[in-house]
Structure 1
């Protein structure tokens, strides 16, 4: 059952890539770099979901099957999602991107702690590492809603309001991943392995396809209404 969801996600990514290629030919004031970031996010994520669908991404570790393709996907797409959000927050104030490196680097600990926790034999150690990952996520969210939001508010009001919407969506979706992790086999085992995989696929679809379409689509609509500054 989970394989069907994995292949469906790959098809969805391919369709979204075609949409963004079409949009990039008429960028409507959005830098091509923002389209390229989305291309990489979708292509990279699709590749690892193909690997997972083929059954090549699992290893038996610490009494459960660890799907390392999740982490191979997230270690690249998480910082790129942050980069995309930064581009949105600083579209009209590009010179204010002083905290870009700090914010991107902060995403790595929250991803790396996942596989480290999964290989821990001790339940206490596993939850301790998981807690470290949650602290890293809290740092990322703090940077988004602190310094990055302050940068976004230096933009025209429609752009600042758009940032709040997409930042809120991204934040909520990000919270979903550790929730599924802790409810699944590595955590308290309320949901089984297949259900965890399906939930991760749904979250990935919402974050990497849905969120990207909302972010770029709203920016394109703002350009049509004359609310987006051309950079």
Structure 2
């Protein structure tokens, strides 16, 4: 399980490279309004993407080699709440920022 954790984190770094590197440059080239919206959305999703491996690492039930700060209940609650903020809340924020960008363009 230790290898899976570190491989997953390495892949996450690859995603961060794409999000904060080439894709951000593409948004900057399009317009300042879209670049601001993209940066906001990138920061939002980056924070929540970092929380997934953090919860996994701190969980005693999923990653026994870690510090075991979260029990089964806390881990379950975190993995119920995190997808909500990564999907539904992100979707609403995205729609709001697209609407705002359309008004400013």
Question: TM-score, normalization: structure 2?
Answer: 0.89
Preserved CA contact (<8 Å) 2:37 2:101: no
1:186 equivalent among 62, 68, 78: 62
The aligned residue for residue 40 of structure 1 is none
Quote the Cα distance in structure 1 between the aligned partners of 2:100 and 2:14.
32
Quote the Cα distance in structure 1 between the aligned partners of 2:22 and 2:97.
23
Quote the Cα distance in structure 1 between the aligned partners of 2:73 and 2:48.
20
Moved over 3 A (4+): none
Higher helix share: 2
The aligned residue for residue 3 of structure 2 is 128
The aligned residue for residue 4 of structure 1 is none
The aligned residue for residue 77 of structure 2 is 198
Give structure 1 stretches of 5+ with no counterpart: 1-125
Quote the Cα distance in structure 2 between the aligned partners of 1:129 and 1:202.
23
Preserved CA contact (<8 Å) 2:33 2:104: no
The aligned residue for residue 169 of structure 1 is 44
Q: Cα deviation per residue 1:57-115 (whole Å; 9 max; x = unaligned)? A: xxxxxxxxxxxxxxxxxxxxxxxxxxxxxxxxxxxxxxxxxxxxxxxxxxxxxxxxxxx
Quote the Cα distance in structure 1 between the aligned partners of 2:99 and 2:92.
10
Question: TM-score, normalization: structure 1?
Answer: 0.42
The aligned residue for residue 35 of structure 2 is 160
Cα offset, 1:128, TM superposition: 2.3
Quote the Cα distance in structure 2 between the aligned partners of 1:129 and 1:166.
27
CA RMSD of aligned residues (A): 1.2
Quote the Cα distance in structure 2 between the aligned partners of 1:152 and 1:133.
27
Cα offset, 1:194, TM superposition: 1.6
Higher Rg of the two aligned structures: 1
The aligned residue for residue 69 of structure 1 is none
User: What are the within-5 Å matches in structure 2 for residues 1-231 of structure 1?
Assistant: 126-184=1-59, 185-187=61-63, 188=66, 189-223=68-102, 225-227=103-105
Cα offset, 1:142, TM superposition: 0.6
Cα offset, 1:156, TM superposition: 1.2
